[in-house]
Amino acid sequence: MHFFIQELVNGLTQGSLYALIALGYSMVYGVLKLLNFAHGDLYMVGAFIGYFVIQWFGGPMALSVPVPLVLLVMFVLAGGGVGMLGVAIERFAYRPLRDAPRIAPLITALGVAFLLENTMLLLFGASYRDYNTSAFISFSTGIHIGPLNVDIVRIMVIVLSIVLMFALTVIVNRTKLGRQMRAVASDREAAEMLGINVDYTIAATFFLGSALAGIAGVMAGLVFNQIYTLMGFVAGLKAFTAAVVGGIGSIPGAMLGGMLIGIAESFVTGYISSTYTNLIVFGILIAVMLARPTGLLGRVPLQKV
Amino acid sequence: MSVEPKDPSIGVDEWVARSAQRAEYAPGWRGQAQRRWERIGWWPRLGIAALAGAAVPLLTVNDFQLQIGINALLLALLALGLNISVGWAGLLDLGFIAFYGFGAYGFALLSSNQLSTSGVHLPAYASVPIVMVGAACLGLMVGLPSRRLIGDYLAIITLFFGEAFVEFTNNVATNKLGGPNGIVAIDPYKAFGAQITTNKGYFYLLLILLVLTMAALHLLDTSRTGRAWRAVREDPLAAEMMTIPVNRVKLMAFSFGAVVAALAGTVFAAQQISVFPTDFDTTFLILIYAALILGGAGSIGGAVLGGLILSVTLDGFLRSPTQSGYLFYGVILLTLIVKLRPWWRLIAVVAGTAVFGLVVHAIVHAVSASAVAGGPQSSGWIADLVRNWVVVPRNPAAAGNVGFVLLLGLLIALVQVRGRWRTVLLVPTLYLSVCVWEGRLVTVPAITRQILIGAILIVMMNARPQGLLGSRRVEVV
């Protein structure tokens, strides 16, 4: 039972990360109908920004400022920086192709992902880097009941993700920007005719989605300690599937899908074998996509002719 | 950018007029050459290209150059296969690499000691058809989702399939498939007592296979099936209305692509004598995509040309710092000559860059001598030429990284500004790119290569989506 709960918590942690990345995928897909392959790499860039914030404050062993401030700066810089990067990518790689055949922006997205990965490789090398979280956050704080250990970092990640998802829901459902985003997502041309600044709305969507990915990257660094330049690709793949499993374009769907995939992965690792984790998870994903392409919470899109 | 037809004559549809204008020959000797080239028919053209290819081993001096040729032919063959689903049928198949891997692994299992202690050593005329039939079935299986899923969903599910192949070969049945250690000691291509063991032999084998595939695909392209593929690509719904069996046509595209990839895989396995899971990762898939996009999706000649150009460029030139320099400066000069019109702008830019570099070098040198102490990291006469012109500090890596990021920013700015300012901005961009090249990129060819592939995909898609040889798709709204 303890093992079950432990794995569940691990799955929820991993799932929160997937959910945060999946939200960005889902939002971008909603407004542009574009599978942004570079999104996973934005997550990786976020993790690196967090790493350099720690180094900047004197390294994990000798932080010069209080830990909460460091965390705040990490999240803000990673979110803001990666958000801006996302906006830049949209502006320069995707905007010129907005009216091109569907396949063109997809291939461009592949190119952007590849370029981003290898630029980071050029700048920072292929070696693993260590957040060394335990040096400045004590893992002994948190919930400990018998053999069950839920450390403070995991609690923080889960709580913060829920807060972020809630905030995003409010933005999309209650604000003017959210209304514009929904309008652009359902019909871009009609939205434009109604006086919505489509370019601005799409850029804002990219900013929000990318910022979430950047924050997820910092969280990944805090939880798993190790970051590297190729960490984004597979995480991005799984997150996209999380978005699809939940129902693309749906925010609660992305959360649900992310959590489900995180938990599935964690249970496969815990109960079956870590060697087959990816294989089994990919298998589940293919099965879900074939059986219900609209996802759990998605609606069947009506096709106009 | 297409130019609007000057006066659309009455009774001619506007886009017909526009596409006719696009298809018009270029003026002067270029148009004449093109016309003559097109008049000789497709099979003599293919024959001329094949003869030119067959002459290559006579000119090469060593095995290494032949190896580059083999890689280039392999990539061309793969691009041809990818062209079927991506270029003709318009299905984004990101699991294509798995078919290649399947072919290589299938051949490896059927011609090594892997399956049993005494081993299975089938001759090529038995093993290659078996593998190709297997690949066709696998293609059908992977293509099945295309009945329900389109576009991005299909892309992601095929991508999973590709990833799953690497995971599978890495982890499942490691005593048979070898796991990360792969399969080694694979037999060469052998039939009726003869076998191919030299690089020259494999070069000719690949050349023959490539030419045969090109011919077969040309016939396929002009057949009913080929037309059906293009109809499905342009508008599945309309194709369905025209009684084209859309699902069957899509599955056929997957299957044919898989067969071509598997064929390439068998030659790869036989020539390398070993296969590893990492030979079939996403990086290589993106290379195939870059080749196809560069050459022009939808065109047989384009796919082959893209594969050859990309492979020879990346493997041949980017290995040695001197030769990669020829490539780098050559491409820059060529682009400038083609893109900068009229001629005085070209001269102004080149002269401006030279002067700008000298001035910057002088200023930096006056401020700090160590900031220019690094010198070009390449060698050869070009390096000597630019030695006192580029700014490369004593520790070039860190400065090169900063320069690279700056260069990306400048390139983006260059795309944004128009008119005179673009010409002005071109000067520092050119200079900075040379500095970054000499200081950093030339020292890390492996990463430069990947960056180049990513850049090719983005630039081609934005600037010339039809590739070098493809024809621009006519969009009907």
CB contact under 8 A, A289 and B153: yes
pLDDT at B196: 83
What sign for the dihedral angle of Cα B224, B225, B226, B229?
positive
User: Is A10 within a domain?
Assistant: no
Q: Does B278 touch chain A (CB under 8 A)?
A: no
* Residue B10 in this model has a pLDDT that exceeds 70: no
User: Is A90 within a domain?
Assistant: yes
* Residue A138 in this model has a pLDDT that exceeds 50: yes
pLDDT tens-place string over residues B246-268: 889 999 999 999 999 999 999 99
Average pLDDT in chain B: 83
The answer to whether A27 touches A211, Cβ cutoff 8 Å, is no
Give the amino acid at A196: I
* Residue A36 in this model has a pLDDT that exceeds 90: no
Half-sphere exposure of A81 (CA within 13 A, CB side): 22
pLDDT band at B16 (very low <50, low <70, confident <90, very high): low
The stretch A271-295 carries a mean pLDDT of 78
**Which is higher by pLDDT, B11 or B344?**
B344
A residues 17..56 contacting B (CB < 8 A): 29, 33-35
* Residue B17 in this model has a pLDDT that exceeds 70: no
- Domain of residue A113, residue span: 20-229
Contacts of A119 in chain B (CB under 8 A): 404-405, 408, 451
Contacts of B436 in chain A (CB under 8 A): none
Spatial distance between the Cα atoms of B286 and B296, rounded to a whole number of angstroms: 15
| Beta bridge mates, A144 | A149
Q: Does A276 touch chain B (CB under 8 A)?
A: yes
Q: How does DSSP classify residue A150?
A: E
Spatial distance between the Cα atoms of B162 and B101, rounded to a whole number of angstroms: 9
3-state class (DSSP) for residue A234: helix
Q: Of the given ranges (B54-58, B311-315, B382-386, B469-473), which has the lowest mean pLDDT?
A: B469-473
User: Is A11 within a domain?
Assistant: no
Closest CA relative to residue A151, chosen from A212, A47, A78, A224: A224
Please give the full DSSP string across B90-111, using - where no structure is assigned: ----TTHHHHHHHHHHHHHHHE
CB contact under 8 A, B157 and A290: yes
Distance from CA of B6 to the nearest CA of A (A): 24
pLDDT tens-place string over residues B393-437: 877 888 888 889 899 888 888 888 888 888 888 888 988 888 888
- How many interchain CB pairs under 8 A, A with B? 134
Spell A287-301 as b/e; 16+ CB within 10 A means b. ebbeeebbbbbbeee
Specify the DSSP element, H or E, that contains B409. Answer: helix B396-416
Contacts of A93 in chain B (CB under 8 A): 458, 462
* Residue A48 in this model has a pLDDT that exceeds 90: yes
Count of the separate structural domains present in chain A: 1
DSSP-H helix ranges across B2-62:
14-23, 28-39, 42-59
The answer to whether A108 touches A97, Cβ cutoff 8 Å, is yes
pLDDT at B213: 93
pLDDT band at B3 (very low <50, low <70, confident <90, very high): very low
pLDDT band at B15 (very low <50, low <70, confident <90, very high): low
* Residue B86 in this model has a pLDDT that exceeds 60: yes
pLDDT tens-place string over residues A187-196: 888 999 999 9
pLDDT at B150: 65
B447 token code pair: 């990463």
The answer to whether A39 touches A24, Cβ cutoff 8 Å, is yes
Q: Which fold is adopted by the domain B60-317?
A: ABC transporter involved in vitamin B12 uptake, BtuC (1.10.3470)
Question: Tell me, what's the ipTM?
Answer: 0.83
What sign for the dihedral angle of Cα B122, B125, B127, B130?
negative
CB contact under 8 A, B163 and A293: no
pLDDT tens-place string over residues A162-187: 999 899 999 988 999 999 998 998 88
Distance from CA of A280 to the nearest CA of B (A): 9
